[in-house]
Chain A
Amino acid sequence: MAQVGQFALALSVVVAAYSIVASLLGIRLKSDKLIASGRNAAIGVFACVTMSIVSLTYLFLIDDFSINYIAEHSNRDLPVYFKISAVWGGQEGSLLFWGWLLTVYSALVIFQNWRKHTAMMPYVTAVLMSSGLFFTAMNLFVVNPFNQVVVLQPGGVNALFVPQDGAGLNPLLQYILMVIHPPILYLGFVGFAVPFAFAIAAMASRQLGDTWIRTTRRWTMVAWFFLGTGILLGGKWAYVELGWGGFWGWDPVENASLMPWLIATAYLHSVMVQEKKGMMKVWNMVLIILTYVMCIFGTFLTRSGLVSSVHAFAQSPIGGYFLAFIVVGLSGSLYLLLDRLNYLKSDNQMESLVSRESSFMFNNLILLASCFAVFWGTIFPVISEAAPEWMGGGVKVTVGPPFFNRVNVPIAIFLLFLTGVGPLLAWRKASTNSLKRNFLWPAGIALASGVGLFFLGVDHFYAWLSLVMCIFVSLTIGREFYKGARARSVGSGENFVEAVVNLTLRNTRRYGGYIVHFGFVLLFLGWSGQAFTTDTQSETGIGETITMRQYTLRMDKLAIEEMPNYTTSKATISLFENGEKVGVLYPERRFYTSSGQPTTEVAIWSTLKEDLYVVFAGSAPDGKKAVMQVYLNPLVAWVWIGGIILGLGTLIAMLPNKKSAPRTSPVNRVEERREVEQHTT
């Protein structure tokens, strides 16, 4: 089976190269046959890489430890679902998985668009297959998942060797969210290849109208949805599995996924300006190019070991190839962009700085500034070390959470403010009256709440500001739904809830967008709570208690359990809130036999108000007590709820608009309008 996988992989490299050549040559020679052949070859690449990844999965399932990658990332006792997730649990397999997803996307794009966009599709195929070629070639020549285990024999001869058992999957990855986190994140990273390919195709074919943007709008949102969900799942994994009490540590790998997400968010907003006003055409090209380049850069950061990261398990010497791919891709794209500048002139001009257009410009500016701060902070240790000594460089420094928080928190809060303001500004120019009407009450109530929050003891400035902005933005969003639903219910006789639902379904993009914004408000609410985290540590024996505010934890049992894959020290803790028993917690300390690595299994008592987060930190020197670290993390649940609402809003925004009911006559419509006005004034 390994030979089948290896052969399919080798074939995919050849066929991908052929697909690029046939597509480009077909365009040049105006040969429909060659173009169609290039398209068929792209489908062939999908078939080959699918065969390759199916082979690898099968080899994992049958415990074929003659394959080096499997011997290093699996073992006999590993549960089946972790054996499947181990396919992408290491360098070689995850690159194969990346490449496979790309070929899946490519095939779907070809099936969906081939007849609709005949001029662009050969270019789209060539661009997608260029990425496909890079990844399959990396897998074949540099990090081959089908390499066999070899040992050095006396006399310097390599001999094949089959270990009895594998080293096992990294224990930190043996967690159910880790089964789905990487695929979802990759679906995001890889997904941006589609709008990128269309952007390049639009420039190459000089079809620079809105077609490429309208065609890729849903693809972009799908990629954005997956990337955002992947990032949040990563946060949840860190929170539950790493046991340090938080969900975001500004690790380089976290930053690597955040950067393309920030640029893609800017792009999703600025394309609206192009669609509505025919402006920012060059800028949109720049943004989608940067988004895809940052996706590759993120993969490069994760793999190369360029910067120190908790994701050290994914390092290998493939950084140089990625860097070369980034340089070639970026310079090629920018050359094409410069060459096509004349075709990308704006159709309209900006009329006022207080308008929807300008709010999008500021939104883009802030998102990119935030992205730059993350980028700069992430690569600064490398720059600092490489800088000459006379400049003060040549020193290894760390750029960690204090830097990122200090720089990004104010930027993020300003972005939250824009989230409330931007959507309510009119296109072209917002009048003073509309500004007053839209913002006076929300701003007044938010400020009054701010005073209240201060007297309630919210004395951390940024947390306070963030909470005030959360209230302001929620009110502006709520007002939009209320205004629209009331107008609908008066006109159609629907009750308010029906009116909200129909309003949303009839303009999914606008109201889905508001729901996404509300999801962000909840994320900020959760983040604000981080300013008030408290913790305590204690050595606790059977029957002893730990008290933290209204909670009392009583150690009932300490036991050691043998599991097939690991040995665990497990505590049984009764939890009391204000003296009343509310639950039982089971924090664990596991020791994985095959890899010899210990991990923490945190026990979390989660409420909307706060999380009680209990870590089994280790055993006391006498062996009779457990060292328990207890955190009280306010408002964390809102991060996950915000994430779900954000995803829901994105899905709604992707839905097609519900068709309107048959229109009434103009006379009736005037009557309806009058009725609405009478009720609204």
Chain B
Amino acid sequence: MNNTRRKLLLVLLVLTAPFALAADRERIKEVSNNMICMCGCNQLLATCNHLNCPTRGPMQDEVAKMLDEGKTQAEILPAFADKYGLRVLAAPPTSGFNLSVWIMPFVALGIGILAVALVARRWKARSPEQGAQPDIDTSKHHKRLQEELDNYTPED
């Protein structure tokens, strides 16, 4: 019985091996997409395609080994940063001074939204017709005019 179970397990392992390999490849690729190859090409480790690249293979083997040890991407990336320096990470970590690279675009966007809101408010406040305009939906003529304007195709 034990023997049969062992054989079954072996058959199952052989049959699922290609899938397991594919899954490993995908996991290695996922982690490698967040790292830079250290050969000096400035390409992602996952996409570095230099002939006889001296670092791509060993680095990917290291990733595979860590994945086999059960480490997650969140654990693997800092380990590589310790070994090769922060340059190995394809994007800076979200801590310390490097946090600013992540937040500044959104700070700028926020400032932009604020500026647009202020300008729009100032423009509206200056508008002399504001408040004096009749409600478009209650006026037959204005409704018609609005529809005409909406459908108007200017000749430029």
B98 contacts chain A at the CB level, 8 A cutoff: yes
Are B129 and A369 within 8 A (Cβ)? Answer: no
- Residues in A neighbouring B124, C-beta threshold 8 A: 349-351
Are B86 and A369 within 8 A (Cβ)? Answer: no
A403 contacts chain B at the CB level, 8 A cutoff: yes
Given A350-B123, A392-B96, A406-B91, check contact A431 B137 (CB 8 Å).
yes
Are A310 and B43 within 8 A (Cβ)? Answer: yes
Cross-interface CB contact of A402 among B34, B113, B153, B154, cutoff 8 Å: B34
Cross-interface CB contact of B120 among A350, A398, A411, cutoff 8 Å: A350
Are B92 and A431 within 8 A (Cβ)? Answer: no
Given A384-B97, A402-B33, A431-B136, check contact A365 B116 (CB 8 Å).
yes
B16 contacts chain A at the CB level, 8 A cutoff: no
Are B149 and A600 within 8 A (Cβ)? Answer: no
Are B101 and A350 within 8 A (Cβ)? Answer: no
Given A358-B120, A361-B116, A431-B137, check contact A244 B105 (CB 8 Å).
no
State how many angstroms separate the Cβ of B117 from the closest Cβ of chain A: 9
Are A426 and B149 within 8 A (Cβ)? Answer: yes
State how many angstroms separate the Cβ of A600 from the closest Cβ of chain B: 7
Are B120 and A397 within 8 A (Cβ)? Answer: no
- Residues in B neighbouring A243, C-beta threshold 8 A: 49
State how many angstroms separate the Cβ of A398 from the closest Cβ of chain B: 5
Are A393 and B129 within 8 A (Cβ)? Answer: no
- Residues in A neighbouring B147, C-beta threshold 8 A: 433-434
State how many angstroms separate the Cβ of A463 from the closest Cβ of chain B: 16
- Name B23-59 residues within 8 Å CB distance of A: 25, 29, 33-34, 36, 41-44, 47-49, 51-52
CA distance A509 to B127 in the complex (A): 30
State the majority secondary structure of interface residues on B: helix
CA distance A401 to B47 in the complex (A): 12
CA distance A377 to B106 in the complex (A): 12
Who on chain A is nearest to B22 by CB? A536
Given A368-B112, A510-B156, check contact A431 B91 (CB 8 Å).
no
Cross-interface CB contact of B86 among A308, A395, A437, cutoff 8 Å: A395
CA distance A432 to B150 in the complex (A): 11
Who on chain A is nearest to B133 by CB? A351
How does the 8 Å CB contact mask read for B112-131 relative to A, with 1 for contact and 0 for none?
Answer: 11001001100110110110
CA distance A93 to B48 in the complex (A): 30
Who on chain A is nearest to B48 by CB? A244
- Residues in B neighbouring A427, C-beta threshold 8 A: 149
- Residues in B neighbouring A398, C-beta threshold 8 A: 36, 42, 86-92
Who on chain B is nearest to A432 by CB? B137
CA distance A392 to B43 in the complex (A): 25
Are A657 and B156 within 8 A (Cβ)? Answer: yes
How does the 8 Å CB contact mask read for A250-290 relative to B, with 1 for contact and 0 for none?
Answer: 01000000000000000000000000000000000000000
- Residues in A neighbouring B97, C-beta threshold 8 A: 384, 387, 391-393
CA distance A399 to B92 in the complex (A): 6
Are B92 and A373 within 8 A (Cβ)? Answer: no
B15 contacts chain A at the CB level, 8 A cutoff: no
CA distance A246 to B101 in the complex (A): 25
State how many angstroms separate the Cβ of B25 from the closest Cβ of chain A: 8
Please give the residue numbers on chain A whose beta carbons come within 8 Å of chain B beta carbons, in ascending order. 242-246, 249, 251, 308-310, 346, 349-351, 353, 358, 361-362, 365, 368-369, 372-373, 376-377, 380, 384, 387, 391-393, 395-403, 406-407, 411, 426-434, 437-438, 483-484, 503, 506-510, 535-536, 589, 598, 600, 615, 617-618, 629, 657, 660
7 A-B pairs with CB atoms under 8 Å apart are: A246-B47, A384-B101, A391-B97, A397-B98, A402-B34, A403-B91, A617-B51
